Structure formats: structure tokens, C-alpha cells
Amino acid sequence: MRVRMAGGGVPVGLLITCGVACAALAMGFRQTFGLFLAPMTTAHGWSASSFGFAIALQVLVNGLTQPLWGQVADRIGARQVIMAGALLQFTGVLGMAFSEGLPFFTFFAGLVMGSAVSAAGMPVIMASLTRLLPEAQRGRATGLGTAGSSLGQFLVVPVVQLGILGLGWQAALVAVALGSLLMIPLALPLNDRPPPKPALAVAEQTAMEALRLAIHTPSFWFLFCGFFVCGLHVSFLAIHLPGFVASCHLPAAVGAGAISLIGLFNIAGALGAGELSTRWRRRELLVAIYASRAVVMTIFFFAEKTTVSVLAFSAVMGLLWLSTVPPTVALCARNFGTRWLATIFGLVFLGHQIGGFTGAWLGGVVFDRTGSYDLMWVICILAAAFAALVHLPVRDPAPAPRPALA
């Protein structure tokens, strides 16, 4: 049986498997930090808002450092960057485990972990897979990587919760730190380091030239604004959906089940989006995803809030959750090439993280001021409609034709 090889001479199956597993661990461990809020604030006497600020700082630092780590990955390859991120995450989580004071905890959880998540996160992994795989397999691979992130969330979070219950929060954090080191061997096949240029090679586009081209291209800002809306939705629902369920006088288990269903159904949504990215125009796919979010949220807003309606909404939203990632990565590659893809997509991802911070913060402000999430649902619906419209003018060029064999 013939083994298909990717760039760098690595079998395609091994490359995709390691990339997906790396994304699963990165996202899975990152999504466990909320589990430590109650036991750590109780043990140290901290407020929930102080703990939450450290994690919110992590989101902002993640967004701000993502383009920087992306540029390093574009220059020296994703393998070294992911390994450095794994070591940073090991250091950051250990620091969280043994921090006695809130300033130290904020430093490790916010600054160190924010940078670690950027280095060993989905944008760098997705850019590496896109560079190493042939055009026909890129959409499927990014879909698998995105699905792997949700699978990690679905599998890792319950295991860490069991660790907290059985071993205590500090031992569980140490286990998370050690588990982060597993990303180092998984990164070995992601060797997308650019080959050395011949002495007489034509000068290639520099990182600054690529960034200058991107920020002067309308399609870049359309994708940036769309990803801002995606982050707004994701953070609002991830943080405030359980509280919204409680405000509807439904059992707390319904809120937890809603978050789990979103992660579970996102696996199918991400795989489907990755497959469709190889068959449909990526622009139209993004328009359909955001328009579907607007319709689904509108129906849920006016529907009676019952256990069935909440879980049904969560399942459908799970299909649309991170299905925006494969077509967005593909459009970045189509518009700006793959040489500086981690840098460009990292800058687009900054929009996602700014939106994430806005969704988490604004949801709380709206509830505190009005005693209800109704205004926030209206904002999310209007934002989804805006995102659908803003993708209509995105440039979606066809792939360059392959040269014919002599």
C-alpha cells in the first residue's frame, strides 16, 4: 500500500494525527481552568472576580501575542514554537499551582499562560498543517484540527474534574502541567521550517511586506470583523449560558449539559466545515454559518425556555461553534499565501480574542445593569447578521493551477 507523504517527507496520516492530538491537548487543558475557580478561591480567600481577571488577562495576552508567535513560526517552523509553548505552559501551570499570592497567580495564569496558549495553540498548528499538506487536503485537515480541539475539551475537562475530586486542586494542576509536555513529541512531525534560500534566489516577500499588504486589503478586515463576532458569541455562551439557564429557573445540570453538548456537536460541525471548505466557496460558507447563527439565536430568544429547548439550542449552536475556523484559515491562505500564514491568521485571531473579551465582559455588564440577558441576546443576533453581510465582499480566489507534467 502506497503511503502518501506531506511536505517534509512525513506521512500524511501521521502528520494529521499528531496535529489533531496536539490541538486536542492544547484546547483541552486550556478549558480546565474554570474548574479551579471554586477550590482555589476558597483555599486562598480570593474573590471570584480576581480569579476571573487573571483568566481574562490570559485571553487578551493570547490575542496580542498570537501574531508575534505566528511570525516566529513562519520564520523557524511550527515545531520549535509549539515545543516552546509546551514548556511555557508547563511553567505557567506549575506557577499557578504553587502561587500563594494573587499577584503571582495573575502573572502565571495571565501573562505566562497567555503567551503559552499562543505558541502552542490552534492558529500555529493550523498554519503548519496548511503549509505541509497539499491544497486538496487542507480544508479537511483544518476541520480535523478544529474538531480535535473540541474533542480535547470534551475528554480532558471531565478527567481533570475527577483529578480535582480525587487528588485535590493542587495535585490536579501539577498533572495538567506534566500533561502539557506531551505536546513536545507530538510536535515533531510539524516540520514546516522554510528551506534555506539559494545564493542567487529572487528576494521573497518579507513579514513586514506581508503584513502591510494584509492591513491594506479590505478582505483582511472583513475576516477580522467576522472573527470578532465569532469570539463574541463563543465567550458569551461559554461563560454566561449557565447563568442564563439559572436565571430561567432551570436546574444547574442543564447549564453544564448545554456547554458539554456544544463541545460534542462542535466536533461534527468542525469536520463538516473542513470538508465543505474543499467543495464550496469559503466565502459563501462563512456567510451561511453566521446567518444560521442569527436565525438559531432569534428562534431561541423567542422560544419558551425549557430543558429541551436549551439543549436543542446548544446542539445546533455546537454545529456552528468553531466551524468558522477552516474556511477562515483557507481564505487567509488563498488571499495572502502560506509563507506568512501563521502571522496573518494570528492577526485575524486577535480579532477573535478581542471579541471574546468583549462577549465575556459585556454579558456581565448587561446582566448587572438590567437584571436580564435579553439585551445581550439582541446584540449577539445583530452581530451575527453583521458578520454574514461583512463576508459577502471577501475575495475568494481560485487556487493557482498546478503546472502540467512534461
User: 288 vs 264, 285, 391, CA distance in Å?
Assistant: 21, 5, 10
pTM of the model: 0.72
Neighbours of 87 (CB within 10 A): 17
Q: Write the single-letter amino acid at 399.
A: P
DSSP string, 61-126: HHHHHHHHHHHHHHHH-HHHHHHHHHHHHHHHHHHHHH--SHHHHHIIIIIIHHHHHHHTSHHHHH
Tell me which residue of 111, 140, 146, 139 sits closest to 125, measured CA to CA.
146
Neighbours of 104 (CB within 10 A): 13
Taking the CA of residue 89 as centre, how many other CA atoms within 13 Å lie in the half-sphere pointing to its CB?
Answer: 31
Residues 6+ apart with CB under 8 A from 89: 29, 113, 116, 117, 120, 177, 180, 183
C-alpha cell at 368: 448587572
Q: Give the tens place of pLDDT for each residue, 214-229.
A: 888 999 999 999 999 9
The three cell numbers locating residue 365: 455588564
The domain limits of the chain are 9-192, 207-396
Give the whole-angstrom CA distance, residue 375 versus residue 363: 9
Kindly give, in sequence order, each residue whose CB lies less than 8 Å from that of residue 156, ignoring residues fewer than 6 positions away: 24, 25, 28, 29, 31, 32
Architecture in CATH for domain 207-396: Up-down Bundle (1.20)
For the CA atoms of the chain, what is the radius of gyration?
21
Q: Which 8-state DSSP code applies to residue 396? A: -
Q: What's residue 333's pLDDT? A: 83
Q: Are 9-192 and 207-396 the same fold in CATH?
A: yes
- In 124-226, the DSSP E strands lie at none
Grid cell, residue 117, equals 496558549
Mean pLDDT rounded to a whole number for the chain: 83
Q: How do residues 109-135 score in pLDDT, each as one tens digit?
A: 989 999 998 898 877 887 788 778 776
For 149-183, write each residue's pLDDT tens digit.
777 777 787 788 788 889 999 999 999 999 999 99
With a cut of 50, which residues of the chain have pLDDT below it?
1-3, 199-201, 401-406
Say what the pLDDT of residue 81 is.
Answer: 93
Helix, strand and coil in the chain, % to nearest 5:
80, 0, 20
pLDDT at 6: 53
User: How far apart are the C-alpha atoms of 271 and 138, rounded to whole Å?
Assistant: 12
Residues 6+ apart with CB under 8 A from 52: 37
Burial of 61 per CB tally in 10 Å (0-12, 13-18, 19+): buried
Please tell me the predicted confidence (pLDDT) of residue 1: 35
256 to each of 51, 66, 145, 243, 271, how far by Cα in Å?
Answer: 20, 30, 24, 10, 24
- Cα 390 to Cα 234, 297, 383, 395: the distances in Å are 19, 19, 10, 11
CATH for 9-192, options being 1.10.150.130, 3.60.9.10, 1.20.1250.20, 3.30.2320.80: 1.20.1250.20
- Tell me what pLDDT residue 24 has: 85
In one-letter notation, the amino acid at residue 253 is A
